[in-house]
Amino acid sequence: MTFSTRFLLAAAALLAAGRTTVAAPEGAPVYAKGENGFDTFRIPALCVTAKGALLAFAEGRKASQSDTGDIAIVVRRSEDNGATWGAMQTVWDDPGNTSGNPCAVVDRGTGTVWLLTTWNRGDDHEKDIIAQTSKDTRRVFVLRSDDDGLTWSAPKEITKDVKRDTWTWYATGPGAGIQLARGPHKGRLVIPCDHIEAETKHYYSHVIHSDDHGETWQLGGRTPEHQVNECEAVELADGRLMLNMRNYDTAKRTRQVAFSDDGGTTWKDQRFDTALVEPVCQASIARHSWPEGDAPGAIVFSNPASAAKRENMTVRASFDEGKTWAAARVLYPGPSAYSSLAALPGGMVGCLYEAGEKNPYESIVFARFPLPRPFLPPLAEGRAWELVWSDEFDGDTLDPAKWEAVGDSPRRDAFWVKEDAYLDGTGNLVLRTKKDGDRFTSGAVRTRGRYEGAYGYWEARCEFPTQPGHWPAFWLMPSKDIGSLERAGEDGTEVDIMEKPWLEDKVQHALHWDGYGKHHQSEGKEAEVPGVSRGWHTFGLHWTEREYVFYVDGVETWRTSAGGVCRVPLYIKLTEEIGPWAGSIADAALPDYFRVDHVRVYQEKGGEKEKL
């Protein structure tokens, strides 16, 4: 039974049992566990040849899922942008030993595809290589294809050229290298690598490069700080290189980056990219397009976007050379790990990534999709959106000019306390629900008295808690009462953009007006959204003079004008609520967390905000 068939049957069983549905991985398996005589396929590497063919490399692990043992490098080739794939081909198999960490780069001048890889004895374990008690060490090899990936040369060892004697462990990539397109080092082939120092046992990232079309390889620069290893590089429009690295500093579960202004010979300015959360795992970064005229270029990034575990495979896009990540596409909210990105012929994005039902290592899937772009509701021709207020939560403390942490005060069946609303240092607002002695507490923040607005597009990107008895909410409120009997909701409406009191894959949208007493009125919609219970999702409201339109991940889920559309400014609230609507809090494993990546408010330029 194929992975796809197993997954669909499992999803159907969950649905029949009334449990949360699970969205299937976007794309189709290229490699599946147990096929072609291999126990497991891992470590994807994707590249596009000079003639436009796609090459999907992987490690074929013969006996088990283990990183150690009898491991070969395999490839499948596609000539139709990943719609179909040719038969699996073995690129390098040294029986009994480990050939792995594929990292491919294409020389656009010669058409040659270079594959950099590492080797070690199959009976040597990583810990023994690091301790220098192994029978051999990690060695570095290069293979080439001069016929668009159809056939491959024998491996050639280059260890003495690219590995210092004081290093023990060594890895190429994995994933993709780059060829520099601009500047004094134009044409240079750059391969991301990592190593461990023998004396200190410190992990570092570094690169190797070739200036003669792959004929010889030299050691480039090492990162200034340690606690990083698997990495990929991208060339920036200003001529610098950016190295994006797996981070082992557990104080911050985000990626680290470093920069080079000499083609990778040296690296500096190493720091955390707090927008790119990670569970300690490999990731991929690639140039999609260069800036042209007034149009910005685009860089794409993929990884399991979770601080807790390897899940939620997400592709992000940056339109300011990696400074911020304005758009995202979740390929699979379930178990997922390593990935490799490529810009495809015709402008689509390709992602080769590990995914499974119970663990990430059941298959390697290829997905093809348009470049992710920030979703904004359509406007009339000639109109445009303008960002008027936002918080990306990139600091270490809540911005008091934007937010008030609510508390300490009773709320429903519990208490809102200020200490349960905080920033986690990785680019997220966290609202925590916990048990404190004999009481339950949670967090809430609001912009009342700091920011209030009317009309436009309001959105928040969120990750939900997982336990019963409490629920997250993103809502808008007037500073005064919600409406009056004379004008219904026009003089003030509570707009619940999102509430999620259920563990199932659905959210609540609602409007409340005419106060909270005996004249209270409301209208709502339960929107079923497959996969919404796992991973990150964006919730939006387009508020016009005529109606409210609600969105989840850019898809319309409700359209209404119930109660008369509110005409007065509203402020933002993000809250964790405790009460029986969500089940029994006594059944919850606490603490539990509601995380928010950003909140943004857009107004139509010259539009409705000026009519207030």
Catalytic residues: 67, 338, 354
Q: What type of residue sits at position 69?
A: G
Task: Identify the three-state secondary structure at position 431.
Answer: strand
User: What tokens does 559 get?
Assistant: 């359209």
DSSP class of residue 319? S
How far apart are alpha carbons 509 and 551 in whole angstroms?
10
Cβ neighbours of residue 13 closer than 8 Å, sequence gap 6 or more: none
Q: Are 138 and 40 in contact (CB under 8 A)?
A: no
* CA nearest to 59, candidates 139, 14, 119, 11: 119
How far apart are alpha carbons 472 and 33 in whole angstroms?
38
Count of positions (residues) in the chain? 612
Task: Identify the three-state secondary structure at position 386.
Answer: strand
How far apart are alpha carbons 354 and 363 in whole angstroms?
6
Q: Are 417 and 462 in contact (CB under 8 A)?
A: no
Q: Are 48 and 345 in contact (CB under 8 A)?
A: yes
Cβ neighbours of residue 1 closer than 8 Å, sequence gap 6 or more: none
Please classify residue 17 by burial: count the beta carbons closer than 10 Å to its beta carbon, then call 0-12 exposed, 13-18 middle and 19+ buried: exposed
Q: Are 271 and 256 in contact (CB under 8 A)?
A: yes
Q: What type of residue sits at position 602?
A: Y
Q: Cα(first)–Cα(last) distance of the chain, in Å?
A: 61
DSSP class of residue 152? -
Helices (H), 370-495: none
How far apart are alpha carbons 607 and 297 in whole angstroms?
29
DSSP class of residue 130? H
* CA nearest to 57, candidates 86, 91, 21: 91
Taking the CA atoms of residue 355, residue 360, residue 363 and residue 365 in that order, the dihedral angle to the nearest 10 degrees is 20
Residue whose token pair is 């949208």? 509
